[in-house]
Structure 1
């Protein structure tokens, strides 16, 4: 076990990029190290901490925190702290005491040279893998779509555009309000993913209605590789329970300070119901970087009378830099409700409802002007004069059309805080067709009036629930219809949804064992792995199930767009649930018209609700964004009609009333459309460019790199099926575990389309945690940083000595500064001969490696020992060549960064004069970021990475 003391300097062996660390605290079991260069903190178990004690010897050169370079003359120890007695080079004999606490946080390591000259050399493959990891890290940091390529999503323009616009902001505060079916959850996930992967955020809290908790949990894992922890009261209680400690009489319970349970995890997901009753002080003090609220329109607010739920969200939002609100109905159902949402985003900007209403009216002429200049090929003088009224610093001419449109959108409306796309301005959706299938009513079902009206209605809509076994499948006429339908569509994939899991299970058993139909089931009692297997079995086009029978959970979070036939064995009373069900197939990219088949018993409650949906609001064949409002205004009449299902006049009155209300609500929604907002929410040319760049990155999949890693670290891999592979821990794994590799193995694919169809497979992009982990694993290990080989090339004289030396430049800075935007990880390669000539430009690494061959380790050690002086001289010559290359890279980095930051700052300051949606916090962040970046980029140093000695034979 290492002996630690506060103030000592240690280095993380696994994360050398953190710089030189300092012991902050020590107890009997743990040691906490603070890394000032990156403002990071790590806590390790003392008995196996991956740390190396940093100490210098007499003659070594050290650098102080003030940048002074000194030569060590002697080393003393005071209270476990090393004190270096050192001198300034060339400045007399005066000694300067330098405690190790005063050393610079930026430490240059020469582990490669130490290992080489001590004979600790590795094989050629390890050296080549190290080179590949360096190039992979460099390419990833230079990628212009970093954060967008990794998610398991279709490349859909409006989603990528919004994610790109919002995800790169500092602490974004935005309302995502795309119409139902356009993918708000995916947009939010991409923004979260970008914020995390680019280190703009590290702590995220997501709050969603209870029925959607599982959907979000699965979506975050399967689509974005983000593992959120679900918090409920039971979990909080378990984290704050002191009962076990109370049994120890030596512990004074009253003196123990209970840690905030919400600080125990970085990524937290909870229900809005839990948020409404949990400890507000604890959750609001969770130090969140980003708060995400789904179904935000449920947060009720009126001037002077906000709801408890609204106030709780407001409290957390006021203490959290970033905020994402999701709502499909932002302003259409009332400007008061819309203002309440915007008020959460920026209470300083949106502080008065009446001012907001007047401001919105003023934007209408601008929206109309934008439509005119977009549609007009030639602009007359009158149109130019109208544009000049709003823009006075840009030449008004149709040749500047794109710039003028951008300026108008930037300076007016709520475009920076609100994004809304509708199906009217997004192409690619299929048609929806409904096919009613009336069947005879079943006399076996008896209806009784329950204590609560909702229970009575539910029993009438789902009559099979009154049976306590599967016997209903033998007489229910809907089941007979389903049997015939599946036989008539043997070659089609059919998604079947019903409300209850018991119904789904009974249908599955009946279809498989009684009817011999290849099907599977999907319900809430299945664990995630079982659900994945069922979904994969359904997705298999060759030997998979013909039908997937789902409970209501089947309408949440899954994409089955490879099917276009949907069977609804019953109908929910909630229109939003119906839209969710249809939305499993009604997706952008669906290649066929969607067939919605609805079997229902005639002269029953099922017929009433079918007619209400179909004839009253046309909910099957058109998206129904207003469904919840229509239900709110008609549900009493609907329930009465269900109870009196044999009263035809009652049914007619319901249909007429629903049609009238639907017409009113839809008209209100249409008139409430913010056309200026819709124009600001999507840019087709930029979206096309993003799609092209992500697709290009997809084509450069990490297959070769990962297979090399697996081979080196003892991971077994083999083909699984087209475009997919199985990997599992090998019997002789090089280390105890490989990043992200499950003990029982996993199936992976590099192909996006395969990943979209198979939720059970991991999508291995360059952004996948396993790939990033593999890159860091290779670069953090010593393996491969020293190697010796022979070169077989008749054109090169035998006995010729070459040295291939790899270096890198990487700023050591806090991750939230994103210093890699201005100085990405840069690899530098030098290939020197004995005279110091650099041959790197003439001979590339790949061609050289093809001619290199292994040499016995004993031989390589003898060679290194006999020619050590020569090799040390060659390394010094290489260092000089590399330093020249490094200075060329670093020469203008700070100036370019400052120019870029100044340009962004000036843009925001200029826009803020005309658009108050630009927050002062964004401007202050740019200024502070520039100052810190200047300091850290100026301190960047060249780092030696690996050495390969080459002997021609």
Structure 2
């Protein structure tokens, strides 16, 4: 439809609704309205075919000139499209106005609130009082989080090391990282924070996630319940996230075009003989195509250089090339001497032995003779001891520890193999001290308990144990007599053992598969390969016959009774049954009744995912016993368990580690009491293997996840030794296994000396503390927001409380929000984002947190930026105690923030990196608000605190009066006439602006920020020079040069911050009524 002059229109990329001002053939000139002071802020010529007429919906705020030529504001209440009914403040009747006389303000931040006031377009201060507290909260939150909205709006607790890791990634223009924290430290949380930020920065992006098959459901639940990624649908209105398993490489090509690729347990896929082997080949293809990559691995430092190279090649294919494998291996070997020297540096140096510390520091210095920063750091550490002869008891132990930590930090940060590897160690996080204010949430690790043994003396259990012993004896004889390869049968022994316990059904099924090739449900392809490699033994048919004779006898009932006896309400018990049919059968046998088990739930592979979710949710809510098969061994966390029963113990310690890992993540819960069910033979295989797991592998004392490769080999040797040397060989291997694991731990610690993040949590600690301080008054946050969201002078939504304590904000169709449908759409576009909590500690799964980054809160912030209501106000305060004549004060609100332009210049001005620039700038110079009051009498800023507080008081009906169009002449009278108002106001503004330039908070903050960035830049320069001189120790000697350039740009941005007028208030304090001056 053709448009005409005076029509309200939009076009692609239009900055809001404009007005057709002229038509020239196939072109249309569209004008945009800023305010009464700037009725035409800009004009654009557009092709007529691109222009679309827009009907002005109800509640659209419009401006028009009255019969005196003055601009008035109102809102549409009906009519259109040629003529509209407009409701104007303080008029009894609605006014009928043609479309061509109406203007709609463009959708940009108000340019000059002072000019709005001077033009007489100011509105009631009640609009200001509803909006200003939320504006202040949003700015305070932005300052506390440095615009890290993906972190702040996630439904998780704030822990320093997790925040630090996420910050480092989201502040980096090149987001290709390996997250290598030790197990149980929340890598999934860190990845979720990053994923949320990536989507907040540009809604519509896509994320592809590759995880172990057993973890697919857990990742989906975690992202849904804590990170709410579906709040950011793609342009096709689909979920932005897809999770695929490690076992689906044929589907990974569907991730072509994703904006971020996340790979969990990446080391498993990097164990490859070469670049062309599947599934590594398919992974490399999608990883290299993705602009952002985030790999997660608790065990990145493989014993083989190939896996190490394979991981780093995914991050940086140009720097770490497969064809350079030999040089990469030489690089690792060269670094080993430096790693040993750093590893030997005591974290708690001896104040009585300065010579020992000097020796340790000299060993590092020998490896890096040209590093002057290191030389200075070493000297500072030794200076803490004082001159020779200084008594040891006068040495500052804390200062010495920090000085030595500074040496270690410099070396690890400067000479890390790849500077986009982040690795936090448990013992480093354990060392994190509580802050003096008690604001930081401690990251506590739940310990493990050694298991109690529950022995069952029943026919079925004993026959099962005897069958296992008979198979071992028969296999051992065949190895001796027939020369069979014991290494082929050792894995078979481990697999048979993993089906031993309770019912003999699953052990029968495996033996039936070996004897007659019967298909066995639940048998993994890897297990089938183990059986296929080891030919059937003659003894197996006899063992199978013995087992069949007792099938279904008394094993299940005895087991069920033992569990019920120890799992009385209100305890939450989890029963691990491993692979096979035991879990399903056992769940049906556990007795339920008064004074016994209250509820029994099943979590089985035969169920659909929704059924498993439902069972887990019921267990969490109601307690009782949750019986799980192999689906409970990996993936889902069961931290809430009070009791854990291991009915069957895996034959591989890594599988048991995975299972126990479901119980011992972080938290302040008491560690679950663990039980192992065994037969009655204290000298049998079950007891020997359990003893080895406890005393040799130490798996019930601490996590062994970092030692997976070694543990695999050791376990294989154990089962082979059982066949060649008997049960006694298992017990004899405790000390050698313990020693092997200690050697592996040392090897990893040596590598960590260079690769781990030392003292790298300062940013995270600072932000966690700032967030905690901001959130301390959650009730105050809620009250301010709800006044805006629900209040008459706000947006008139209705808040409905839900049963879980959350609140949902909905439209009130009777009392419509003071927003046009066009602007309202920005608030209601994501329905789930409007239901949640203001208190982080109350958040329940899948309910949102009302913080910046939540689409609903971001919509509010955008509307407050665009909404000129309340940004220019004038009021008369009637105060009988006011001394002297009436006096007018002008109050000016200023927003002070770092200048982004130098940073954007470094980043080539790319739109997609602007959020990164904002985060870097806000981190260096937290944005702040300053309000300056200037009386028209003295034209000097008000400094007296009590008077500032008086002027800042909100509008109170009965005391204060809005100086609307009819009452504003009273102000004109005070300043000597309407013609003097503008020059006086502008002079007051100039005074306020000059004052802000000098005010201590701004000047001090700017100087501190510039000095801090300057120090960081100098440190980066020193590190960059050191890396350049140590080309044989690092793979990317020039890696820090871009960071140096960025730091210099940030320094420029904080040295000369931007200062913008965001609001203006005029208040007259008087003992007389305004009416006396009209």
Is this contact kept in 2: 1:300–1:306, CA < 8 A? no
Aligned to 1:830: 932
Match 1:431 to one of 445, 448, 464: 448
Aligned to 1:334: 304
Aligned to 2:895: 808
The range that moved more, 298-307 or 523-532, is: 523-532
Match 2:994 to one of 876, 884, 894: 884
Larger Rg: 2
Question: Does the residue aligned with 2:663 lie in a helix, a strand or coil?
Answer: coil
Aligned to 1:945: 1063
The range that moved more, 396-405 or 734-743, is: 734-743
Say how many residue pairs are matched: 835
Match 1:354 to one of 329, 335, 358: 329
Aligned to 1:776: 862
Structure 1 residue 863 displacement after superposition: 0.9
Whole-angstrom CA distance in 2 between matches of 1:531 and 1:865: 72
Q: Is 1:343 aligned with 2:420?
A: no
Is this contact kept in 2: 1:493–1:547, CA < 8 A? yes
Q: Per the alignment, do residues 633 and 733 of structure 1 end up closer, same or farther by CA in structure 2, a change over 3 Å counting? A: farther
Question: Does the residue aligned with 1:808 lie in a helix, a strand or coil?
Answer: strand
Structure 1 residue 596 displacement after superposition: 1.5
Q: Is 1:588 aligned with 2:675?
A: no
Match 1:180 to one of 176, 183, 187: 183
Query: Deviation per CA, 1:201-232, whole angstroms, max 9, x where unpaired?
Result: 976543223332232233234334444999xx
Aligned to 1:854: 957
Is this contact kept in 2: 1:788–1:854, CA < 8 A? no
Q: Is 1:748 aligned with 2:852?
A: no
Query: Following superposition of structure 1 onto structure 2, how do residues 835-914 of structure 1 map, counting pairs within 5 Å?
Result: 835=937, 836-839=939-942, 842=945, 847-848=950-951, 850=953, 852-854=955-957, 860-864=964-968, 867=971, 869=978, 872-873=982-983, 875-885=985-995, 887-888=997-998, 899=1014, 902-903=1017-1018, 906-914=1021-1029
- TM-score normalised to the size of structure 2? 0.63
Is this contact kept in 2: 1:220–1:228, CA < 8 A? no
Question: Does the residue aligned with 2:705 lie in a helix, a strand or coil?
Answer: coil
Whole-angstrom CA distance in 1 between matches of 2:362 and 2:503: 75
Structure 1 residue 505 displacement after superposition: 8.3
Whole-angstrom CA distance in 2 between matches of 1:444 and 1:552: 17
Is this contact kept in 2: 1:349–1:917, CA < 8 A? yes
Question: Does the residue aligned with 1:371 lie in a helix, a strand or coil?
Answer: coil
Q: Is 1:485 aligned with 2:566?
A: yes
Query: Deviation per CA, 1:573-631, whole angstroms, max 9, x where unpaired?
Result: 77555434322331233443431234467899999997896688554454232786478
Structure 1 residue 946 displacement after superposition: 5.0
Structure 1 residue 660 displacement after superposition: 9.5
Q: Is 1:494 aligned with 2:581?
A: no
Question: Does the residue aligned with 1:180 lie in a helix, a strand or coil?
Answer: coil
Aligned to 1:927: 1045
Structure 1 residue 478 displacement after superposition: 2.8
Q: Which runs of 5+ in 2 are unaligned?
A: 1-6, 19-31, 65-106, 385-402, 431-444, 461-501, 529-543, 545-551, 902-913, 973-977, 1074-1078
Structure 1 residue 862 displacement after superposition: 1.5
Q: Per the alignment, do residues 783 and 534 of structure 1 end up closer, same or farther by CA in structure 2, a change over 3 Å counting? A: farther
Question: Does the residue aligned with 1:324 lie in a helix, a strand or coil?
Answer: strand
Is this contact kept in 1: 2:590–2:600, CA < 8 A? no
Q: Is 1:392 aligned with 2:372?
A: yes
Is this contact kept in 2: 1:715–1:728, CA < 8 A? yes
Question: Does the residue aligned with 1:292 lie in a helix, a strand or coil?
Answer: strand
Structure 1 residue 162 displacement after superposition: 4.1
Aligned to 1:708: 787
Whole-angstrom CA distance in 1 between matches of 2:859 and 2:14: 29
Q: Is 1:455 aligned with 2:573?
A: no
Aligned to 2:294: 324
Question: Does the residue aligned with 1:862 lie in a helix, a strand or coil?
Answer: coil
Whole-angstrom CA distance in 2 between matches of 1:545 and 1:171: 46
Is this contact kept in 2: 1:807–1:827, CA < 8 A? yes
Question: Does the residue aligned with 2:666 lie in a helix, a strand or coil?
Answer: coil
Whole-angstrom CA distance in 2 between matches of 1:802 and 1:943: 16
Query: Following superposition of structure 1 onto structure 2, how do residues 610-649 of structure 1 map, counting pairs within 5 Å?
Result: 617=697, 619-625=699-705, 629=709
The range that moved more, 601-610 or 738-747, is: 601-610
Whole-angstrom CA distance in 1 between matches of 2:670 and 2:308: 36
Q: Per the alignment, do residues 616 and 496 of structure 1 end up closer, same or farther by CA in structure 2, a change over 3 Å counting? A: same
Q: Is 1:121 aligned with 2:123?
A: yes
RMSD (Å), alpha carbons: 5.8
Aligned to 2:747: 672
Whole-angstrom CA distance in 2 between matches of 1:663 and 1:294: 29
Query: Deviation per CA, 1:84-137, whole angstroms, max 9, x where unpaired?
Result: xxxxxxxxxxxxxxxxxxxxx99862467548855562452x312322233223
Q: Per the alignment, do residues 534 and 742 of structure 1 end up closer, same or farther by CA in structure 2, a change over 3 Å counting? A: farther
Q: Is 1:296 aligned with 2:296?
A: no
Question: Does the residue aligned with 2:210 lie in a helix, a strand or coil?
Answer: strand
Q: Per the alignment, do residues 9 and 531 of structure 1 end up closer, same or farther by CA in structure 2, a change over 3 Å counting? A: same
Whole-angstrom CA distance in 2 between matches of 1:618 and 1:652: 19
Q: Which runs of 5+ in 1 are unaligned?
A: 32-43, 56-104, 231-238, 240-258, 464-470, 642-646
Whole-angstrom CA distance in 1 between matches of 2:833 and 2:609: 16
Whole-angstrom CA distance in 2 between matches of 1:45 and 1:904: 56
Q: Per the alignment, do residues 50 and 111 of structure 1 end up closer, same or farther by CA in structure 2, a change over 3 Å counting? A: farther
Whole-angstrom CA distance in 2 between matches of 1:899 and 1:169: 19
Structure 1 residue 913 displacement after superposition: 1.6
Is this contact kept in 1: 2:874–2:963, CA < 8 A? no
Aligned to 2:433: none
Q: Is 1:683 aligned with 2:663?
A: no
Q: Per the alignment, do residues 304 and 828 of structure 1 end up closer, same or farther by CA in structure 2, a change over 3 Å counting? A: same
